[in-house]
Amino acid sequence: MPASTLARGVRRIGAGTIRAVSRAGFATRFFLLVLRHSPSAFHRLQLTAREIYFAGVLSLVVIMVSGLFVGMVLGLQGYDALNKYGAGDSLGIFVGLSLVRELGPVVAGLLFASRAGSAITAEIGLMKTTEQLSAMEMMAVDPLARIVAPRFWGGVISMPLLAALFSVMGVFGAYLVGVRLIGVDNGTFWGNMQAGIGFWPDVTNGIIKSLVFGIAVSLIAVFEGYDANPTAEGVSAATTRTVVGGSLAILALDFVLTVFMFRGLGSG
Amino acid sequence: MNKATIDLWVGIFVTIGLGAIVFLALKVGNLTSIETKPTYRLDASFDNIGGLKLRAPVKAAGVIVGRVESVKLDNKTYEAVVSLRMDNGYQFSKDTIASILTSGLLGEVYIGLEAGGDPVMLADGGRISKTQSAVVLEKLIGQFLFDKASSGSAK
């Protein structure tokens, strides 16, 4: 009896591994298919514009409000910590660097995964459940070109813009708290920031990060929707997987990208 | 929602998104100063400016009266020439002393002005002739050690 329980356990692990690997294979094939069908997303720009509206414009409020509050908290906490060492004047560079390099892309990406990614997955999953995707195939309309590619590119285009807006709102929030409320000198705040942040290594790397996160989250979102079990339960599980997987992917990718981008710049 | 509305919103979104990127880029470079107050320029030469940065404050008795506009090296005297953008509301006499100071041990570097008694005021483009360089900590320590060593050997 224990032997058969053991065997069942081993079998389950094996089946799970095989399923995970084959899903990874399917995801890769799916990514290449989406890329192959991408020209049609740009050929019919109206479809992509619609998806930028749903993924980007409708995420504006949550991104901007979060950015403002994150910046204000950074301003308060940063000033409190820096002032212990008599370096409260360095608030500008502290806030600017943490927002442009890390918090802007990462927090905007996490919000994007839960706000827009989940919606994309649920939409495509429900289309699959109600057999709209099969109906399209029957009418010789490729759902990859008509449904998936515009959503993918809508997300990829929206993400860097949202991350930049997040950073700007954060800097503005830190300015409100640091300069207006606490009384850090206005010129010192901006001067330190400009002296310490370079367009080339810092701002561009932040934009590259947000672009990579946009690709990862959008791909996970459309893939989970397309791959969902065509039941109500399956769609809900797929939506959860998008948010969890997308968030983990962002954090893991962030670490990898940071290692590549900033390892040599530590002393700068 | 019809096409025109979606296009309008996407346009607004892309515009402010790109605007945000431009803001991030400009914030780094020389953001043109938004101050509208009338100003005048003063020059001062220093042997050593230490860690003085552009846009650092110029203070008199702790009050900010101007900002550092540019820092150049004079190729003949090998002195640093610092241009100060001063607030028009504050005038300083000709024998004013400018010194480079640090607020706290790790704080920002700024220029302190000590007004003199000369009745003639500095005008636009004027030059502060009495200056005091930044204190370089390494030199100070070196000097201290040297003094210690020489006084030790004299005994």
The answer to whether A168 and A63 have CB atoms below 8 angstroms apart is no
Average pLDDT, chain A: 89
Residues shown for chain A: 268
Name the domain count of chain B: 2
If asked whether residues B3 and B47 sit together in one domain, one would say: no
- Asked if residue B33 has pLDDT above 50, the reply is no
pLDDT digits (tens, 9 = 90+) for A182-191: 888 888 888 8
Average pLDDT, chain B: 82
pTM of the predicted model over 0.80:
no
If asked whether residues B85 and B129 sit together in one domain, one would say: yes
- Compute the distance between CA of residue A118 and CA of residue A225 in angstroms, rounded to an integer: 9
Structure tokens at A192: 């330190």
* Beta strands at B39-46 and B63-73: parallel, antiparallel or unpaired: unpaired
Structure tokens at B150: 């020489």
Angle (CA) A48 B16 A72, round 5°: 120
Report, as an integer, the average pLDDT of A54-69.
Answer: 93
If asked whether residues B24 and B76 sit together in one domain, one would say: no
If asked whether residues B51 and B113 sit together in one domain, one would say: yes
B71 beta partners? B82
Nearest residue, CB atoms, B28 vs list A52, A57, A197? A197
Residue B109 touches chain A, beta carbons under 8 Å: no
pLDDT-derived band of residue B105, with 50, 70 and 90 as boundaries? low
Residue B62 touches chain A, beta carbons under 8 Å: no
- Asked if residue A85 has pLDDT above 70, the reply is yes
If asked whether residues B25 and B50 sit together in one domain, one would say: no
If asked whether residues B7 and B57 sit together in one domain, one would say: no
pLDDT-derived band of residue B34, with 50, 70 and 90 as boundaries? very low
- Return all residues near A106 (Cβ < 8 A) that are at least 6 apart: A209, A213, A250, A251, A254
Query: Residues of B with CB below 8 A from A168's CB?
Result: 20, 23-24
What residue segments make up the domains of chain A, in order of their start? 37-265
| SS3 per-residue string spanning B62-115 | CEEEEEEEEEEECCCCCCEEEEEEEECCCCCECCCEEEEEECCCCCCEEEEEEC
Helix axes B3-28, A149-175, angle to 10 degrees: 50
Nearest residue, CB atoms, A203 vs list B13, B25, B54? B25
Angle (CA) A48 A49 A51, round 5°: 65
If asked whether residues B27 and B44 sit together in one domain, one would say: no
Is the ipTM value over 0.85, yes or no? no
Domain assignment present for residue B149? The answer is no
Report, as an integer, the average pLDDT of A213-219.
Answer: 95
Residue A239 vs residues A26, A217, A225, A229: alpha-carbon distances, Å: 18, 12, 7, 11
- Asked if residue A54 has pLDDT above 60, the reply is yes
Domain assignment present for residue B146? The answer is no
Domain that holds residue B7: 1-32
Percentage of chain A beyond pLDDT 90 is 61
The residues of A whose Cβ lies within 8 A of any Cβ of B are: 46, 49-50, 52-53, 56-57, 60, 85-87, 89-90, 96, 100, 158, 160-162, 164-165, 167-168, 171, 185, 187-188, 190-195, 197-199, 202-203, 206-207
Query: Residues of B with CB below 8 A from A192's CB?
Result: 53, 108
Helix axes A118-129, A204-227, angle to 10 degrees: 20
Domain assignment present for residue B28? The answer is yes
If asked whether residues B51 and B119 sit together in one domain, one would say: yes
pLDDT-derived band of residue A170, with 50, 70 and 90 as boundaries? very high
Query: Residues of B with CB below 8 A from A86's CB?
Result: 103-107
If asked whether residues B55 and B80 sit together in one domain, one would say: yes
Domain assignment present for residue B78? The answer is yes
B59 beta partners? B64, B112
- Please name the residue that has the structure tokens 């640090």: B102
Q: Do B108 and A192 touch (CB under 8 A)?
A: yes
If asked whether residues B50 and B96 sit together in one domain, one would say: yes
Domain assignment present for residue B73? The answer is yes
pLDDT digits (tens, 9 = 90+) for A98-153: 998 899 999 999 999 999 999 999 999 999 999 998 899 899 888 888 889 999 99
- Compute the distance between CA of residue B84 and CA of residue B122 in angstroms, rounded to an integer: 12
CA dihedral for B9, B11, B12, B17, sign (positive or negative)? positive
- Return all residues near A126 (Cβ < 8 A) that are at least 6 apart: A235
Report, as an integer, the average pLDDT of A83-89.
Answer: 83
pLDDT on residue B101 = 86
Residue B23 touches chain A, beta carbons under 8 Å: yes
If asked whether residues B16 and B63 sit together in one domain, one would say: no
pLDDT on residue B128 = 86
If asked whether residues B14 and B86 sit together in one domain, one would say: no
Q: Name which residue leads in pLDDT, A114 or A267.
A: A114
